[in-house]
Amino acid sequence: MSDAPATPPDAAEVAAFRDKVLAKLTYSVGKDPEHAVDHDWFEAIALATRDHLVDRWMAHTRATYAQQRKRVYYLSLEFLIGRLLLDSLSNLGLLDIARSALHDLDVDLERIRTLEADAALGNGGLGRLAACFMESMATLGLAAHGYGIRYEHGLFRQTIVDGRQMEQTETWLDFGNPWEFERPETSYLIGFGGSVSSATNSDGEVRQFWHWAEGIRANAYDTPIAGWRGKAVNTLRLWRARAESDFHLERFNAGDHIGAVAEEARAESISRVLYPADSTEAGQELRLRQEYFFVSASLQDLLRRHLKQHGEVESLPQYAAIQLNDTHPAIAVAELMRLLVDVHDLPWERAWTTTVATLAYTNHTLLPEALETWPVGLMERLLPRHMQIIYLINAYHIDALRARDLHDFDLLRAVSLIEEDNGRRVRMGNLAFLGSHSVNGVSGLHTELMRSTVFSQLHALYPERINNKTNGITFRRWLYQTNPALTALLVEAAGPQLLDDPQQYLSAIEAFANKASFRKRFAAQRRQKKLELAQLVEERLAISINPDALFDVHIKRIHEYKRQLLNLLHTVALYQAMRAEPATTWVPRVKIFAGKAAASYHQAKLIIKLANDIARTINADPTLRGQLKLVFLPNYNVSLAEAIIPAADLSEQISTAGLEASGTSNMKFALNGALTIGTLDGANVEMAERIGQEHMFIFGMTAAQVQARKRADAFSAQQSVADSARLHEVLQAIRNGVFSPDEPSRYTALVDNLIAYDNFFVCADFEAYWAAQQRVSDYWQTPDQWWRSAVLNTARAGWFSSDRTISEYAREIWQVMD
Ligand SMILES: *Cc1c(COP(=O)(O)O)cnc(C)c1O
Cα(510)–Cα(695) distance, integer angstroms: 13
Task: Note the pTM of the prediction, 2 decimals.
Answer: 0.97
Ranges of beta strands (E only) in 232-391 are 233-243, 320-325, 359-362, 373-375
Atom of ligand 1 nearest to the CA of 636: 13
The verdict on the CB of residue 125 being under 6 Å from ligand 1 is: yes
Three-class secondary structure of residue 170 per DSSP:
coil
Atom of ligand 1 nearest to the CA of 80: 13
H or E element at residue 395: helix 384-403
The verdict on the CB of residue 663 being under 6 Å from ligand 1 is: yes
The verdict on the CB of residue 248 being under 6 Å from ligand 1 is: no
Write down the pLDDT at residue 281. Answer: 58
770: exposed, middle or buried (C-beta count within 10 Å: 0-12, 13-18, 19+)? Answer: buried
Q: Pick from 286, 261, 260, 263: which is nearest to 273 by CA?
A: 286
Tell the residue nearest (CA) to atom 11 of ligand 1: 124
Q: Give catalytic status of residue 596 as yes or no.
A: no
Write down the pLDDT at residue 1. Answer: 41
The verdict on the CB of residue 637 being under 6 Å from ligand 1 is: yes
How many A from CA of 709 to the centre of ligand 1? 29
Tell the residue nearest (CA) to atom 5 of ligand 1: 665
Torsions phi, psi for 29 (to 5 deg): -85, -30
Atom of ligand 1 nearest to the CA of 562: 9
Write down the pLDDT at residue 280. Answer: 62
**Count of residues making up the chain:** 818
Q: Pick from 555, 529, 544: which is nearest to 590 by CA?
A: 544
The verdict on the CB of residue 128 being under 6 Å from ligand 1 is: yes
Write down the pLDDT at residue 713. Answer: 67
How many A from CA of 641 to the centre of ligand 1? 8
Q: Give catalytic status of residue 211 as yes or no.
A: no
Cα(197)–Cα(193) distance, integer angstroms: 13
The verdict on the CB of residue 124 being under 6 Å from ligand 1 is: yes
Going along the chain from its start, the domains and CATH numbers come out as 330-469 (no CATH), 475-700+761-801 (3.40.50.2000)
The Cβ-side half-sphere exposure at 319, using a 13 Å CA radius, reads 20
DSSP conformation letters of 445-497:
HHHHHHHHTTTHHHHHHSTTTEEE----B-HIIIIIIT-HHHHHHHHHHH-TH
Tell the residue nearest (CA) to atom 1 of ligand 1: 665
Q: Give catalytic status of residue 338 as yes or no.
A: no
Tell the residue nearest (CA) to atom 8 of ligand 1: 663
Cα(332)–Cα(358) distance, integer angstroms: 11
Cα(743)–Cα(333) distance, integer angstroms: 52
C-alpha 719 chain-centroid distance: 37
How many A from CA of 10 to the centre of ligand 1? 38
**Which position among 153, 562, 563, 570 bears the catalytic label?**
562
Q: Give catalytic status of residue 591 as yes or no.
A: no
Cα(445)–Cα(704) distance, integer angstroms: 11
Contacts of 226 (CB under 8 A, 6+ apart): 53, 56, 87, 88, 91, 92, 135, 138, 232, 233
Tell the residue nearest (CA) to atom 14 of ligand 1: 638
Taking the alpha carbons at both ends of the chain, their separation in whole angstroms is 31
How many A from CA of 123 to the centre of ligand 1? 9
The verdict on the CB of residue 651 being under 6 Å from ligand 1 is: no
Q: Measured at the alpha carbon of residue 722, what is the angle toward residues 719 and 728, in degrees to the nearest 5? A: 125
How many A from CA of 278 to the centre of ligand 1? 11
How many A from CA of 125 to the centre of ligand 1? 5
Atom of ligand 1 nearest to the CA of 555: 7
Residue to probe by mutation, ligand 1, list 79, 80, 667, most atoms within 8 Å of CB: 80
Query: With contact defined as beta carbons under 8 Å apart, do 118 and 637 qualify?
Result: yes
Dihedral Cα 695, 680, 80, 71, nearest 10 deg = 100
Contacts of 672 (CB under 8 A, 6+ apart): 478, 479, 482, 483, 486, 645, 646, 648, 794
How many A from CA of 663 to the centre of ligand 1? 7
How many A from CA of 632 to the centre of ligand 1? 16
| Angle of the 444-452 helix axis to the 684-691 helix axis, nearest 10 | 140
Query: With contact defined as beta carbons under 8 Å apart, do 273 and 151 qualify?
Result: yes
Query: With contact defined as beta carbons under 8 Å apart, do 166 and 187 qualify?
Result: no
Write down the pLDDT at residue 263. Answer: 80
Q: Give catalytic status of residue 556 as yes or no.
A: yes
Q: For the segment 85-118, what is each residue's pLDDT rounded down to a tens digit?
A: 999 999 999 999 999 999 999 999 999 999 999 9
The verdict on the CB of residue 154 being under 6 Å from ligand 1 is: no
650 φ/ψ sector (left φ>0, alpha ψ -120 to 50, else beta)? beta
Tell the residue nearest (CA) to atom 15 of ligand 1: 638
Q: Give catalytic status of residue 529 as yes or no.
A: no
**Which position among 49, 223, 373, 664 bears the catalytic label?**
664
Low-confidence ranges of the chain (pLDDT < 70): 1-6, 245-252, 278-283, 713-715
Cα(78)–Cα(134) distance, integer angstroms: 12
Query: With contact defined as beta carbons under 8 Å apart, do 638 and 596 qualify?
Result: no
Query: With contact defined as beta carbons under 8 Å apart, do 638 and 120 qualify?
Result: yes
Q: Where are the alpha helices (DSSP H) in 552-696?
A: 564-580, 602-619, 638-644, 665-671, 684-691
What strands, in cross-sheet order, belong to the sheet with 550-555? 628-633, 589-594, 550-555, 650-653, 675-678, 697-698
